[in-house]
Amino acid sequence: MTIRITWKRVLLALLAIFAAGMAFAWSGLFQVAASSGHWKVTEWFLHWVMRNSVKTYSALQTPEVVRDDRGLVSAAGHFKQACASCHGAPGQRPNPVMQKATPPAPDLTVNARQWTDRQLFWILEHGVKYSGMPAWGAEKRPDEVRRMVAFVRRLPTMTTAQYRALTETTTVPPVTGLRPGLIESCAGCHGVDGRGRGPDVPVLAGQKVAYLEGALRRYAAGHRASAVMRVAAAALSPMEMRVLARHYAAMPGLRDVALPATHPILTEGRRDDQLPACASCHAPNKAYPLIAGQKATYVADRLTHWRGDEKIVDARKPSATMPVIARRIPEEQIEPLARALAGAE
């Protein structure tokens, strides 16, 4: 007996297959248990899809520069807080509980070699669906992702001592009003003296209390974009934010002094570019943070970040105060300006 294939029969067969699939899904017989893992073939297929996707999209969706080796301290500190429990770190095995996930997070001290910088950037920025890998904790902070790429790149060859040197500092005197371990965690990047342990970490010592406290609050709420500081600030109570702000503000460091005339933009601005002087807002009795003596690398990075992408049309560029001001600073003046500011104390 032969069955004649007609359009009607094909359609009915497809409908039957779909109905059977839905019935299977509805029955709950499909196991979502992580304990059983995947079949070998499923695992291969899923990873194959993931690798292809990363290869394709990392070529399409990444900026020109994807790695920044100048400052590793903030990336290392963030890795320790946010990544190490799943991925492990030099001298630290991944949390065994997290290793029971399907799929388990790869041990980056081994696995980081498999990816190019560009692919790492894409994975860090966007995360990976269905795998538990989250996207970067703040939007539009490619500078943070670039530093993390540089850090992850070094993981396979990093010794425990090197990792410790990046993430830990000498003994930190305890601060009253903070739970144990908190100030040590802050000092891992910001240093015992509040001056920051790398060129990517700003000087907090001597900064205004209200500014520091407000910054912590804005980081925690996500109003100020930074994955690194959001993770650090989200766990703080309002009281701890105040104690920390006072702690760093009380340290000797930045001073509330008039900006020196070491660069014309600091004290005069550029009228033809509609650029007001830095000292219009950053001076004694003004409402804005102290910047005299801040690190040149940090200042230049912030200004460059605020300038944003030159290719975006004006109407879509951010209109907040500093992005607007930073866009009026001639690009070649950013480095000299930051250096002049750093020398000012």
Partner 1 sequence: MRQAAVSVGLLAFLSGCNRHQSALATFGAEAEGIRTITIALVVGAVFIIAIMVGIYWRAVRAPEGQLTHKQGMRLVLWLGGIGPTILLTVILIFALPAMRPRVTAPGDLTIHVEGEQFWWRVGYERPGGGVLVAANEVRVPVGRTVAFELTGRDVIHSFWIPGLAGKMDMIPGRTNSLVARADKPGRYRGVCTEFCGLSHALMAFDVIAMEPAAFYAWLADQSRPAAGARQGQGAQLFAANGCGGCHAIRGTEHDARIGPDLSRYGDRLTLGAGILPPTIERTADFIRAPQDAKPGVRMPAYPQLSHQEARAIAVYLKGLK
Chain residues that interact with partner 1, rule: CB under 8 A: 269, 271, 274-277, 280-281, 285-288, 314-315, 319-325
CB of 320 to partner 1, least distance (A): 5
Structure tokens at 10: 């094909």
| For partner 1, the closer CB: 98 or 209 | 209
Task: Answer whether 338's CB lies under 8 Å from 299's CB.
Answer: yes
| For partner 1, the closer CB: 1 or 320 | 320
CB of 325 to partner 1, least distance (A): 6
CB of 285 to partner 1, least distance (A): 6
| For partner 1, the closer CB: 159 or 280 | 280
CB of 336 to partner 1, least distance (A): 20
Task: Answer whether 152's CB lies under 8 Å from 70's CB.
Answer: no
- Spatial separation of the C-alpha atoms in residues 307 and 300, rounded to whole Å: 11
Task: Answer whether 325's CB lies under 8 Å from 282's CB.
Answer: no
DSSP code string of 13-58: HHHHHHHHHHHHHHHT-S---STT---HHHHHHHHHHHHHHHHHHH
CB of 265 to partner 1, least distance (A): 12
List, in order, residues 6 or more apart from 11 with CB less than 8 Å away: none
Paired residues of 275 in beta bridges? 270
Name residue, tokens 């902070």.
141
| For partner 1, the closer CB: 42 or 274 | 274
Q: Can you tell me whether residue 133 is helix, strand or coil? A: strand
DSSP code string of 69-106: -S--HHHHHHIIIIIHHHH-BTTBPPPTTGGGSSSPPP
CB of 132 to partner 1, least distance (A): 35
CB of 182 to partner 1, least distance (A): 27
| For partner 1, the closer CB: 145 or 229 | 229
Q: Measured between alpha carbons, how far is residue 292 from residues 162, 190, 269, 344 in Å?
A: 32, 18, 16, 5
Q: Which amino acid is at 223?
A: H
CB of 266 to partner 1, least distance (A): 12
Q: Can you tell me whether residue 222 is helix, strand or coil? A: coil
Paired residues of 270 in beta bridges? 275
Query: How many Cβ atoms sit within 10 Å of the Cβ of residue 197?
Result: 24
| For partner 1, the closer CB: 214 or 260 | 214
Q: Can you tell me whether residue 270 is helix, strand or coil? A: strand
| For partner 1, the closer CB: 138 or 275 | 275
| For partner 1, the closer CB: 170 or 285 | 285
